[in-house]
Amino acid sequence: MRPRLPIRRIPLLRPFRPPNSPTLRPFTRNTLARPNLPYLSDSSRRPTARFLTIETKQWLKSEVKKGMKYTAYIYTFVFLGLIITFGVYQETFERQYHPPPEWGWYTRYHWKMAMHAEDPENETQAFVDYANTGSIYKLLIERLEDPNNEGAGLQEQGEGGILVDGVGRTGFDISNKSESWRRGYYGALMGAARAAEHLDDCVKDCQRMLVFPKSVVPGPSNPHPRPIPPGAATPSREEDCEKAFEPPEIYYMRILTTKGFTEKQRVDTALAYGAWLDFKGTHNTALEMYKWAMEIATSSSTSTKPVIDTSIWTIDPNAGPPSANVLSVATAIAVHHALCSNLALALPIFISILRSRRSLPDAPSNLEYERAPDDGDNSIAKTIVSLIRTIFVVPPYPPPPPDGTEPPQRTPQELCEEAGVMTNIGEILFASKSSKTSKEDGLAWTREAVDIAEEQLRTKRADKDAKTTCRQCLNVAIGNWDAMVTRLAKEEREAKAQGGKVGGWLGFGGEEQKDMAGRWESEENVVRDRRRRSIELLEDKPAPRWTSILSV
Protein backbone atom coordinates (compact mmCIF):
# COMPACT_ATOMS: atom_id res chain seq x y z
CA MET A 1 0.00 0.00 0.00
CA ARG A 2 1.40 3.18 -1.10
CA PRO A 3 1.84 5.91 1.50
CA ARG A 4 -0.68 8.79 1.42
CA LEU A 5 0.87 12.04 0.52
CA PRO A 6 -0.09 15.06 2.64
CA ILE A 7 -2.66 17.33 1.04
CA ARG A 8 -1.38 20.80 0.43
CA ARG A 9 -4.04 23.39 0.87
CA ILE A 10 -3.62 26.56 -1.10
CA PRO A 11 -5.34 29.42 0.73
CA LEU A 12 -7.90 31.44 -1.15
CA LEU A 13 -6.17 34.57 -2.27
CA ARG A 14 -8.16 37.77 -2.62
CA PRO A 15 -8.17 38.75 -6.27
CA PHE A 16 -6.19 41.82 -7.13
CA ARG A 17 -8.29 44.94 -7.62
CA PRO A 18 -7.44 47.16 -10.50
CA PRO A 19 -5.72 50.42 -9.52
CA ASN A 20 -7.73 53.58 -9.21
CA SER A 21 -7.28 54.85 -12.70
CA PRO A 22 -9.46 57.07 -14.83
CA THR A 23 -10.27 54.10 -17.07
CA LEU A 24 -13.91 53.81 -17.98
CA ARG A 25 -16.12 50.97 -16.84
CA PRO A 26 -17.80 49.25 -19.83
CA PHE A 27 -21.32 47.87 -19.55
CA THR A 28 -20.27 44.46 -20.93
CA ARG A 29 -18.09 43.81 -17.94
CA ASN A 30 -20.05 41.97 -15.34
CA THR A 31 -18.97 42.13 -11.75
CA LEU A 32 -21.32 39.30 -10.68
CA ALA A 33 -20.24 35.67 -10.43
CA ARG A 34 -21.64 34.54 -13.74
CA PRO A 35 -19.95 33.53 -16.98
CA ASN A 36 -19.17 36.12 -19.57
CA LEU A 37 -19.97 34.25 -22.74
CA PRO A 38 -18.70 35.67 -26.00
CA TYR A 39 -21.80 34.81 -27.99
CA LEU A 40 -24.03 36.88 -25.68
CA SER A 41 -22.33 40.13 -26.69
CA ASP A 42 -21.89 41.76 -30.03
CA SER A 43 -18.20 41.55 -30.84
CA SER A 44 -18.55 44.06 -33.66
CA ARG A 45 -19.72 46.87 -31.36
CA ARG A 46 -17.36 48.83 -29.25
CA PRO A 47 -18.18 48.61 -25.56
CA THR A 48 -20.11 51.62 -24.29
CA ALA A 49 -18.47 53.50 -21.43
CA ARG A 50 -20.33 54.52 -18.25
CA PHE A 51 -19.57 58.20 -17.58
CA LEU A 52 -21.85 58.54 -14.54
CA THR A 53 -21.38 55.95 -11.88
CA ILE A 54 -22.65 55.76 -8.33
CA GLU A 55 -19.32 57.04 -7.01
CA THR A 56 -19.32 59.93 -9.50
CA LYS A 57 -22.87 60.90 -8.47
CA GLN A 58 -21.90 60.96 -4.84
CA TRP A 59 -18.78 63.00 -5.59
CA LEU A 60 -20.73 65.56 -7.66
CA LYS A 61 -23.33 65.91 -4.92
CA SER A 62 -20.66 66.54 -2.30
CA GLU A 63 -18.90 69.09 -4.53
CA VAL A 64 -22.13 70.97 -5.20
CA LYS A 65 -22.91 71.05 -1.48
CA LYS A 66 -19.42 72.31 -0.70
CA GLY A 67 -19.64 74.98 -3.40
CA MET A 68 -23.00 76.23 -2.13
CA LYS A 69 -21.73 76.23 1.45
CA TYR A 70 -18.53 78.11 0.61
CA THR A 71 -20.44 80.56 -1.59
CA ALA A 72 -22.85 81.28 1.24
CA TYR A 73 -19.92 81.77 3.63
CA ILE A 74 -18.10 84.12 1.23
CA TYR A 75 -21.17 86.24 0.48
CA THR A 76 -22.03 86.41 4.18
CA PHE A 77 -18.54 87.59 5.12
CA VAL A 78 -18.49 90.09 2.23
CA PHE A 79 -21.87 91.47 3.24
CA LEU A 80 -20.83 91.74 6.87
CA GLY A 81 -17.56 93.39 5.81
CA LEU A 82 -19.45 95.97 3.77
CA ILE A 83 -21.71 96.70 6.73
CA ILE A 84 -18.71 97.07 9.03
CA THR A 85 -16.94 99.34 6.53
CA PHE A 86 -20.05 101.47 6.14
CA GLY A 87 -20.40 101.71 9.92
CA VAL A 88 -16.75 102.70 10.36
CA TYR A 89 -17.07 105.40 7.71
CA GLN A 90 -20.26 106.74 9.24
CA GLU A 91 -18.74 106.79 12.71
CA THR A 92 -15.70 108.63 11.33
CA PHE A 93 -17.92 111.20 9.60
CA GLU A 94 -20.02 111.47 12.76
CA ARG A 95 -17.00 112.57 14.75
CA GLN A 96 -15.58 114.74 11.98
CA TYR A 97 -18.67 116.72 10.93
CA HIS A 98 -20.71 116.59 14.17
CA PRO A 99 -24.38 116.45 13.14
CA PRO A 100 -26.78 117.51 15.90
CA PRO A 101 -27.43 114.49 18.13
CA GLU A 102 -31.19 115.06 18.34
CA TRP A 103 -31.62 114.64 14.58
CA GLY A 104 -32.77 111.33 13.18
CA TRP A 105 -30.37 108.89 11.52
CA TYR A 106 -31.55 109.68 8.00
CA THR A 107 -31.16 113.44 8.51
CA ARG A 108 -27.75 113.05 10.11
CA TYR A 109 -26.64 110.79 7.25
CA HIS A 110 -27.44 113.42 4.60
CA TRP A 111 -25.77 116.12 6.70
CA LYS A 112 -22.54 114.09 6.81
CA MET A 113 -22.64 113.37 3.09
CA ALA A 114 -23.09 117.05 2.23
CA MET A 115 -20.32 118.15 4.57
CA HIS A 116 -17.97 115.49 3.22
CA ALA A 117 -18.68 116.56 -0.36
CA GLU A 118 -17.75 120.18 0.48
CA ASP A 119 -14.76 119.32 2.64
CA PRO A 120 -11.64 120.97 1.14
CA GLU A 121 -9.50 118.16 2.59
CA ASN A 122 -11.51 115.51 0.74
CA GLU A 123 -9.07 114.03 -1.78
CA THR A 124 -11.56 111.58 -3.32
CA GLN A 125 -13.06 114.21 -5.62
CA ALA A 126 -11.44 116.87 -7.78
CA PHE A 127 -14.26 119.42 -7.43
CA VAL A 128 -17.44 119.99 -5.45
CA ASP A 129 -20.62 118.82 -7.15
CA TYR A 130 -22.87 121.68 -6.05
CA ALA A 131 -25.83 120.23 -7.92
CA ASN A 132 -25.65 117.19 -5.65
CA THR A 133 -24.90 119.08 -2.44
CA GLY A 134 -27.62 121.60 -3.20
CA SER A 135 -30.23 118.86 -3.52
CA ILE A 136 -29.02 117.34 -0.24
CA TYR A 137 -29.27 120.67 1.56
CA LYS A 138 -32.77 121.22 0.17
CA LEU A 139 -33.79 117.80 1.48
CA LEU A 140 -32.29 118.68 4.87
CA ILE A 141 -34.19 121.96 5.01
CA GLU A 142 -37.45 120.24 4.09
CA ARG A 143 -37.00 117.69 6.85
CA LEU A 144 -35.97 120.30 9.41
CA GLU A 145 -39.00 122.46 8.59
CA ASP A 146 -41.42 119.52 8.45
CA PRO A 147 -43.38 119.30 11.74
CA ASN A 148 -43.75 115.54 11.23
CA ASN A 149 -39.97 114.99 11.08
CA GLU A 150 -37.32 117.21 12.66
CA GLY A 151 -39.35 120.43 12.71
CA ALA A 152 -41.66 119.60 15.58
CA GLY A 153 -42.23 122.74 17.61
CA LEU A 154 -41.41 125.33 14.92
CA GLN A 155 -43.52 128.44 15.17
CA GLU A 156 -44.62 130.68 12.32
CA GLN A 157 -43.98 134.40 12.68
CA GLY A 158 -47.48 135.64 12.13
CA GLU A 159 -50.45 133.61 11.04
CA GLY A 160 -49.44 131.43 8.11
CA GLY A 161 -46.04 133.07 7.84
CA ILE A 162 -44.96 136.19 5.97
CA LEU A 163 -44.48 136.18 2.20
CA VAL A 164 -42.09 138.60 0.44
CA ASP A 165 -42.05 139.14 -3.34
CA GLY A 166 -39.00 137.53 -4.94
CA VAL A 167 -37.91 135.97 -1.64
CA GLY A 168 -40.80 133.75 -0.63
CA ARG A 169 -41.68 132.87 2.92
CA THR A 170 -39.71 134.43 5.75
CA GLY A 171 -38.08 132.49 8.55
CA PHE A 172 -39.56 130.69 11.54
CA ASP A 173 -39.27 131.29 15.24
CA ILE A 174 -36.74 128.65 16.40
CA SER A 175 -36.10 130.09 19.86
CA ASN A 176 -37.48 126.97 21.56
CA LYS A 177 -35.05 124.67 19.73
CA SER A 178 -31.70 123.59 21.18
CA GLU A 179 -28.48 125.33 20.26
CA SER A 180 -27.18 122.32 18.32
CA TRP A 181 -30.42 122.12 16.30
CA ARG A 182 -30.24 125.83 15.48
CA ARG A 183 -26.59 125.53 14.50
CA GLY A 184 -27.36 122.62 12.17
CA TYR A 185 -30.32 124.45 10.63
CA TYR A 186 -28.13 127.49 10.02
CA GLY A 187 -25.48 125.30 8.36
CA ALA A 188 -28.07 123.73 6.05
CA LEU A 189 -29.41 127.14 4.97
CA MET A 190 -25.92 128.52 4.36
CA GLY A 191 -24.98 125.38 2.42
CA ALA A 192 -28.01 125.80 0.19
CA ALA A 193 -27.07 129.46 -0.34
CA ARG A 194 -23.53 128.46 -1.39
CA ALA A 195 -24.92 125.91 -3.84
CA ALA A 196 -27.32 128.53 -5.21
CA GLU A 197 -24.44 130.93 -5.84
CA HIS A 198 -22.44 128.35 -7.77
CA LEU A 199 -25.51 127.22 -9.76
CA ASP A 200 -26.79 130.71 -10.49
CA ASP A 201 -25.61 130.56 -14.12
CA CYS A 202 -26.69 126.95 -14.72
CA VAL A 203 -29.77 125.20 -16.08
CA LYS A 204 -31.08 121.68 -15.51
CA ASP A 205 -32.54 119.21 -17.98
CA CYS A 206 -35.46 117.68 -16.08
CA GLN A 207 -35.65 114.60 -18.30
CA ARG A 208 -31.97 113.65 -18.20
CA MET A 209 -31.41 115.17 -14.73
CA LEU A 210 -28.20 116.89 -15.87
CA VAL A 211 -26.96 120.39 -15.07
CA PHE A 212 -25.24 122.56 -17.69
CA PRO A 213 -23.92 126.12 -17.76
CA LYS A 214 -26.11 128.49 -19.73
CA SER A 215 -23.24 129.37 -22.03
CA VAL A 216 -23.12 125.86 -23.56
CA VAL A 217 -26.89 125.37 -24.03
CA PRO A 218 -28.08 126.30 -27.54
CA GLY A 219 -31.27 128.28 -27.84
CA PRO A 220 -32.83 131.55 -28.92
CA SER A 221 -31.06 133.51 -26.19
CA ASN A 222 -27.74 131.79 -26.93
CA PRO A 223 -27.39 131.23 -30.69
CA HIS A 224 -23.63 130.69 -30.47
CA PRO A 225 -23.01 128.35 -27.51
CA ARG A 226 -19.56 127.69 -26.19
CA PRO A 227 -18.00 124.32 -27.05
CA ILE A 228 -18.18 121.64 -24.40
CA PRO A 229 -15.02 119.99 -23.06
CA PRO A 230 -14.08 116.53 -24.39
CA GLY A 231 -15.95 113.70 -22.72
CA ALA A 232 -18.75 115.89 -21.36
CA ALA A 233 -22.41 115.11 -21.97
CA THR A 234 -24.12 116.77 -24.91
CA PRO A 235 -26.07 119.79 -23.64
CA SER A 236 -29.81 119.88 -24.04
CA ARG A 237 -31.86 122.47 -25.85
CA GLU A 238 -32.85 125.64 -24.07
CA GLU A 239 -36.58 124.89 -24.25
CA ASP A 240 -36.01 121.55 -22.45
CA CYS A 241 -34.22 123.14 -19.50
CA GLU A 242 -35.17 125.13 -16.44
CA LYS A 243 -33.24 127.03 -13.79
CA ALA A 244 -31.00 124.65 -11.88
CA PHE A 245 -31.53 126.14 -8.39
CA GLU A 246 -33.34 128.84 -6.51
CA PRO A 247 -31.64 132.25 -6.20
CA PRO A 248 -29.39 132.58 -3.14
CA GLU A 249 -31.30 135.55 -1.70
CA ILE A 250 -34.11 133.16 -0.74
CA TYR A 251 -31.88 131.40 1.77
CA TYR A 252 -30.04 134.52 2.91
CA MET A 253 -33.30 136.31 3.68
CA ARG A 254 -34.64 133.18 5.36
CA ILE A 255 -31.76 133.38 7.85
CA LEU A 256 -31.98 137.14 8.34
CA THR A 257 -35.71 136.94 9.10
CA THR A 258 -35.51 133.87 11.35
CA LYS A 259 -35.86 134.51 15.06
CA GLY A 260 -33.44 132.54 17.19
CA PHE A 261 -30.09 132.82 15.38
CA THR A 262 -27.15 134.48 17.11
CA GLU A 263 -25.84 137.90 16.21
CA LYS A 264 -22.74 136.49 14.53
CA GLN A 265 -24.78 134.11 12.40
CA ARG A 266 -26.97 136.95 11.16
CA VAL A 267 -23.96 139.23 10.59
CA ASP A 268 -22.09 136.55 8.64
CA THR A 269 -25.19 135.96 6.52
CA ALA A 270 -25.58 139.66 5.73
CA LEU A 271 -21.89 139.92 4.80
CA ALA A 272 -22.12 136.86 2.55
CA TYR A 273 -25.21 138.31 0.86
CA GLY A 274 -23.46 141.66 0.41
CA ALA A 275 -20.41 139.98 -1.15
CA TRP A 276 -22.74 138.13 -3.53
CA LEU A 277 -24.40 141.39 -4.54
CA ASP A 278 -20.98 142.95 -5.13
CA PHE A 279 -20.09 140.01 -7.33
CA LYS A 280 -23.28 140.51 -9.36
CA GLY A 281 -22.44 144.21 -9.81
CA THR A 282 -25.31 145.66 -7.74
CA HIS A 283 -23.02 147.72 -5.50
CA ASN A 284 -25.70 150.07 -4.17
CA THR A 285 -27.80 147.17 -2.93
CA ALA A 286 -24.68 145.58 -1.46
CA LEU A 287 -23.92 148.75 0.51
CA GLU A 288 -27.45 148.72 1.93
CA MET A 289 -26.92 145.12 3.01
CA TYR A 290 -23.65 146.10 4.72
CA LYS A 291 -25.47 148.89 6.53
CA TRP A 292 -28.04 146.35 7.72
CA ALA A 293 -25.18 144.15 8.94
CA MET A 294 -23.73 147.09 10.86
CA GLU A 295 -27.10 147.74 12.50
CA ILE A 296 -27.17 144.11 13.63
CA ALA A 297 -23.58 144.29 14.89
CA THR A 298 -24.09 147.48 16.88
CA SER A 299 -27.45 146.47 18.36
CA SER A 300 -25.75 144.81 21.34
CA SER A 301 -23.22 147.58 21.99
CA THR A 302 -23.20 148.96 25.54
CA SER A 303 -21.03 151.99 24.74
CA THR A 304 -22.48 155.44 25.37
CA LYS A 305 -20.79 156.73 22.22
CA PRO A 306 -21.51 155.48 18.73
CA VAL A 307 -18.93 152.91 17.71
CA ILE A 308 -19.12 153.77 14.00
CA ASP A 309 -19.11 157.14 12.33
CA THR A 310 -21.79 156.43 9.74
CA SER A 311 -20.72 159.34 7.55
CA ILE A 312 -17.33 157.81 6.68
CA TRP A 313 -17.76 154.34 8.31
CA THR A 314 -14.66 154.57 10.47
CA ILE A 315 -14.39 153.10 13.98
CA ASP A 316 -14.30 155.64 16.80
CA PRO A 317 -11.27 154.88 19.03
CA ASN A 318 -12.88 156.69 21.98
CA ALA A 319 -15.90 154.35 22.07
CA GLY A 320 -13.95 151.47 23.55
CA PRO A 321 -12.75 148.27 21.94
CA PRO A 322 -15.14 147.20 19.16
CA SER A 323 -16.73 143.78 19.02
CA ALA A 324 -15.69 141.09 16.60
CA ASN A 325 -18.86 141.61 14.57
CA VAL A 326 -18.18 145.34 14.20
CA LEU A 327 -14.64 144.64 12.99
CA SER A 328 -15.94 142.13 10.44
CA VAL A 329 -18.58 144.49 9.07
CA ALA A 330 -16.16 147.44 8.92
CA THR A 331 -13.66 145.33 7.00
CA ALA A 332 -16.36 144.24 4.55
CA ILE A 333 -17.41 147.88 3.98
CA ALA A 334 -13.78 148.88 3.33
CA VAL A 335 -13.37 146.05 0.83
CA HIS A 336 -16.62 147.13 -0.83
CA HIS A 337 -15.32 150.66 -1.33
CA ALA A 338 -12.02 149.32 -2.64
CA LEU A 339 -13.89 147.16 -5.19
CA CYS A 340 -15.85 150.23 -6.26
CA SER A 341 -12.53 152.14 -6.72
CA ASN A 342 -13.36 154.48 -3.83
CA LEU A 343 -9.84 154.28 -2.44
CA ALA A 344 -10.17 157.60 -0.59
CA LEU A 345 -13.03 156.10 1.44
CA ALA A 346 -11.52 152.63 1.86
CA LEU A 347 -8.11 153.73 3.21
CA PRO A 348 -9.39 155.59 6.34
CA ILE A 349 -11.63 152.65 7.20
CA PHE A 350 -8.75 150.19 6.96
CA ILE A 351 -6.55 152.44 9.09
CA SER A 352 -9.24 152.74 11.77
CA ILE A 353 -9.66 148.94 11.75
CA LEU A 354 -5.92 148.44 12.17
CA ARG A 355 -5.81 150.95 15.01
CA SER A 356 -8.69 149.21 16.74
CA ARG A 357 -7.15 145.77 16.32
CA ARG A 358 -3.85 146.91 17.77
CA SER A 359 -5.67 148.29 20.81
CA LEU A 360 -7.31 144.93 21.59
CA PRO A 361 -6.23 143.13 24.77
CA ASP A 362 -3.57 140.46 24.43
CA ALA A 363 -4.60 136.84 24.84
CA PRO A 364 -3.43 135.22 28.09
CA SER A 365 -0.45 132.96 27.71
CA ASN A 366 -1.46 129.32 27.50
CA LEU A 367 1.12 126.92 28.87
CA GLU A 368 -0.42 124.10 26.91
CA TYR A 369 0.59 125.73 23.65
CA GLU A 370 3.90 127.16 24.79
CA ARG A 371 5.36 124.02 26.35
CA ALA A 372 8.08 122.17 24.52
CA PRO A 373 6.93 119.11 22.59
CA ASP A 374 7.37 115.83 24.42
CA ASP A 375 9.48 113.28 22.60
CA GLY A 376 7.28 110.47 23.88
CA ASP A 377 4.02 111.91 22.61
CA ASN A 378 4.26 109.81 19.44
CA SER A 379 5.37 106.61 21.14
CA ILE A 380 3.69 103.35 20.21
CA ALA A 381 2.11 102.80 23.64
CA LYS A 382 0.54 106.25 23.79
CA THR A 383 -0.60 105.95 20.19
CA ILE A 384 -2.35 102.64 20.91
CA VAL A 385 -3.99 104.02 24.06
CA SER A 386 -5.14 107.10 22.13
CA LEU A 387 -6.52 104.92 19.33
CA ILE A 388 -8.46 102.71 21.75
CA ARG A 389 -9.83 105.76 23.54
CA THR A 390 -10.85 107.31 20.23
CA ILE A 391 -12.72 104.16 19.23
CA PHE A 392 -14.65 103.52 22.44
CA VAL A 393 -15.11 107.03 23.86
CA VAL A 394 -17.69 109.14 22.03
CA PRO A 395 -16.51 112.77 21.83
CA PRO A 396 -18.98 115.40 23.06
CA TYR A 397 -20.76 117.75 20.72
CA PRO A 398 -18.60 120.83 20.05
CA PRO A 399 -19.37 123.83 22.26
CA PRO A 400 -21.07 126.83 20.65
CA PRO A 401 -18.72 129.30 18.96
CA PRO A 402 -18.54 132.92 20.17
CA ASP A 403 -21.47 135.09 19.18
CA GLY A 404 -19.18 138.01 18.23
CA THR A 405 -20.61 140.50 20.73
CA GLU A 406 -17.37 140.69 22.75
CA PRO A 407 -14.09 142.30 21.67
CA PRO A 408 -11.67 139.65 20.40
CA GLN A 409 -8.25 139.04 21.90
CA ARG A 410 -4.99 139.19 20.03
CA THR A 411 -4.68 135.50 19.33
CA PRO A 412 -2.64 134.18 16.38
CA GLN A 413 -5.76 134.21 14.23
CA GLU A 414 -6.50 137.83 15.09
CA LEU A 415 -2.89 138.76 14.38
CA CYS A 416 -3.26 137.19 10.94
CA GLU A 417 -6.45 139.20 10.44
CA GLU A 418 -4.39 142.26 11.33
CA ALA A 419 -1.80 141.24 8.74
CA GLY A 420 -4.60 140.96 6.19
CA VAL A 421 -5.66 144.54 6.92
CA MET A 422 -2.05 145.64 6.46
CA THR A 423 -1.98 143.86 3.11
CA ASN A 424 -5.04 145.80 1.99
CA ILE A 425 -3.49 149.09 3.14
CA GLY A 426 -0.30 148.34 1.26
CA GLU A 427 -2.22 147.48 -1.90
CA ILE A 428 -4.24 150.70 -1.71
CA LEU A 429 -1.14 152.83 -1.09
CA PHE A 430 0.66 151.22 -4.01
CA ALA A 431 -2.27 151.69 -6.40
CA SER A 432 -3.69 155.02 -5.23
CA LYS A 433 -0.83 157.33 -6.16
CA SER A 434 1.89 157.20 -8.77
CA SER A 435 4.56 158.78 -6.57
CA LYS A 436 7.61 156.75 -5.66
CA THR A 437 7.11 157.36 -1.94
CA SER A 438 3.58 155.98 -2.00
CA LYS A 439 4.71 152.85 -3.80
CA GLU A 440 7.52 152.28 -1.31
CA ASP A 441 5.08 152.76 1.57
CA GLY A 442 2.79 150.17 0.07
CA LEU A 443 5.71 147.78 -0.26
CA ALA A 444 6.69 148.37 3.37
CA TRP A 445 3.17 147.55 4.61
CA THR A 446 3.12 144.41 2.47
CA ARG A 447 6.52 143.22 3.72
CA GLU A 448 5.42 143.63 7.32
CA ALA A 449 2.22 141.69 6.64
CA VAL A 450 4.28 138.83 5.19
CA ASP A 451 6.52 138.79 8.26
CA ILE A 452 3.57 138.71 10.68
CA ALA A 453 1.72 135.96 8.83
CA GLU A 454 4.85 133.82 8.52
CA GLU A 455 5.69 134.32 12.18
CA GLN A 456 2.23 133.25 13.31
CA LEU A 457 2.35 130.18 11.08
CA ARG A 458 5.58 129.09 12.73
CA THR A 459 4.31 129.57 16.28
CA LYS A 460 3.02 126.62 18.29
CA ARG A 461 0.03 128.54 19.64
CA ALA A 462 -1.78 128.65 16.29
CA ASP A 463 -4.67 126.20 15.98
CA LYS A 464 -6.20 124.85 12.78
CA ASP A 465 -8.45 127.86 12.12
CA ALA A 466 -5.60 130.28 12.82
CA LYS A 467 -3.30 128.45 10.43
CA THR A 468 -5.95 128.51 7.72
CA THR A 469 -6.33 132.29 8.11
CA CYS A 470 -2.56 132.81 8.19
CA ARG A 471 -2.02 130.72 5.06
CA GLN A 472 -4.57 132.78 3.16
CA CYS A 473 -3.01 136.02 4.36
CA LEU A 474 0.54 134.88 3.59
CA ASN A 475 -0.42 133.68 0.13
CA VAL A 476 -2.11 136.98 -0.75
CA ALA A 477 0.62 139.12 0.81
CA ILE A 478 3.45 137.32 -1.01
CA GLY A 479 1.49 137.52 -4.25
CA ASN A 480 1.04 141.28 -3.83
CA TRP A 481 4.68 141.72 -2.88
CA ASP A 482 5.78 139.79 -5.97
CA ALA A 483 3.49 141.79 -8.26
CA MET A 484 4.63 145.13 -6.83
CA VAL A 485 8.34 144.34 -7.05
CA THR A 486 7.94 142.87 -10.55
CA ARG A 487 6.31 146.08 -11.72
CA LEU A 488 9.02 148.26 -10.18
CA ALA A 489 11.79 146.03 -11.54
CA LYS A 490 10.28 146.28 -15.02
CA GLU A 491 10.27 150.05 -14.80
CA GLU A 492 13.86 149.92 -13.55
CA ARG A 493 14.99 147.78 -16.48
CA GLU A 494 13.22 150.06 -18.94
CA ALA A 495 14.96 153.09 -17.42
CA LYS A 496 18.30 151.28 -17.57
CA ALA A 497 17.73 150.42 -21.24
CA GLN A 498 17.09 154.10 -21.99
CA GLY A 499 20.42 155.06 -20.45
CA GLY A 500 19.12 156.30 -17.11
CA LYS A 501 21.16 156.21 -13.95
CA VAL A 502 19.87 153.27 -11.98
CA GLY A 503 21.19 152.15 -8.64
CA GLY A 504 23.17 155.27 -7.71
CA TRP A 505 22.40 157.45 -4.72
CA LEU A 506 21.63 161.10 -5.45
CA GLY A 507 22.53 160.51 -9.10
CA PHE A 508 26.15 159.54 -8.46
CA GLY A 509 27.66 156.32 -9.71
CA GLY A 510 24.90 155.55 -12.18
CA GLU A 511 27.20 154.96 -15.12
CA GLU A 512 29.27 152.43 -13.22
CA GLN A 513 26.17 150.44 -12.17
CA LYS A 514 24.50 149.96 -15.53
CA ASP A 515 25.59 146.32 -15.72
CA MET A 516 24.69 145.62 -12.07
CA ALA A 517 21.33 144.49 -10.76
CA GLY A 518 19.23 147.39 -9.53
CA ARG A 519 17.44 147.71 -6.22
CA TRP A 520 14.13 146.25 -7.37
CA GLU A 521 15.79 143.51 -9.41
CA SER A 522 17.62 142.41 -6.26
CA GLU A 523 14.42 142.53 -4.22
CA GLU A 524 12.72 140.52 -6.94
CA ASN A 525 15.18 137.70 -6.27
CA VAL A 526 14.53 138.08 -2.54
CA VAL A 527 10.77 137.68 -3.07
CA ARG A 528 11.29 134.56 -5.14
CA ASP A 529 13.50 133.05 -2.46
CA ARG A 530 10.96 134.01 0.20
CA ARG A 531 8.16 132.35 -1.74
CA ARG A 532 10.28 129.23 -2.16
CA ARG A 533 10.92 129.04 1.57
CA SER A 534 7.26 129.60 2.41
CA ILE A 535 5.99 126.65 0.36
CA GLU A 536 6.24 124.34 3.36
CA LEU A 537 4.12 126.78 5.37
CA LEU A 538 1.49 127.20 2.67
CA GLU A 539 1.07 123.44 2.30
CA ASP A 540 -0.85 121.76 5.11
CA LYS A 541 1.19 118.63 5.83
CA PRO A 542 0.02 116.81 8.96
CA ALA A 543 2.65 115.49 11.34
CA PRO A 544 3.27 111.73 11.31
CA ARG A 545 1.03 109.91 13.77
CA TRP A 546 3.10 106.76 14.01
CA THR A 547 6.65 106.29 15.23
CA SER A 548 8.91 103.79 13.54
CA ILE A 549 9.80 100.75 15.61
CA LEU A 550 13.44 101.20 14.64
CA SER A 551 13.49 104.64 16.25
CA VAL A 552 12.26 103.38 19.64
pLDDT 10s digits, 279-336 = 999 999 999 999 999 999 998 887 778 889 888 999 988 888 899 999 999 999 999 9
Give domain status of residue 50, yes or no: no
Residue 173 near residue 257, CB atoms below 8 Å: no
Q: How much is the pTM?
A: 0.80
Rounded to whole angstroms, the Cα distance separating 552 from 536 reads 27
200-216: pLDDT as tens digits: 989 998 888 888 898 88
Same domain, 254 and 280: no
N residues, the chain: 552
Give domain status of residue 206, yes or no: yes
Give domain status of residue 146, yes or no: yes
Same domain, 422 and 355: no
The pLDDT score that the predictor gives to residue 367 is 41
The pLDDT score that the predictor gives to residue 205 is 87
Q: Could you give the C-alpha distances from 291 to 22, 297, 332, 359, 549, in angstroms and in order?
A: 96, 10, 10, 24, 60
Give domain status of residue 292, yes or no: yes
Burial class, 504, CB count within 10 angstroms (exposed 0-12 / middle 13-18 / buried 19+): middle
Give domain status of residue 16, yes or no: no
Same domain, 207 and 302: no
Q: 74-85: buried (b, 16+ CB within 10 Å) or exposed (e) per residue?
A: eeeeeeeeeeee
Same domain, 142 and 255: yes
Domain boundary among 341, 359, 377: 359
Q: Which domain holds residue 311?
A: 275-359
Same domain, 253 and 344: no
Same domain, 351 and 436: no
Same domain, 133 and 254: yes
The pLDDT score that the predictor gives to residue 376 is 45
Q: Which of 26-30, 289-293, 451-455, 548-552 has the lowest mean pLDDT?
A: 548-552
Same domain, 149 and 246: yes
Q: What percent of the chain has pLDDT above 70? A: 80
The pLDDT score that the predictor gives to residue 76 is 96
Same domain, 254 and 281: no
Burial class, 256, CB count within 10 angstroms (exposed 0-12 / middle 13-18 / buried 19+): buried
The pLDDT score that the predictor gives to residue 386 is 78
Same domain, 185 and 307: no
156-210: pLDDT as tens digits: 876 555 555 566 677 888 999 999 999 999 999 999 999 999 999 899 988 888 8
Residue 314 near residue 308, CB atoms below 8 Å: yes
Q: Is 207 helix (H, G, I), strand (E, B) or coil?
A: coil
Same domain, 248 and 349: no
- Nearest 5°: the CA angle 466, 470, 472 is 120
Domains in the chain, number: 3
Same domain, 244 and 301: no
Q: What is the DSSP string of 13-39?
A: PPPPPPP--S--EETT---SSS---GG
Whether residue 511 is predicted with pLDDT greater than 50 in this model: the reply is no
Burial class, 424, CB count within 10 angstroms (exposed 0-12 / middle 13-18 / buried 19+): buried
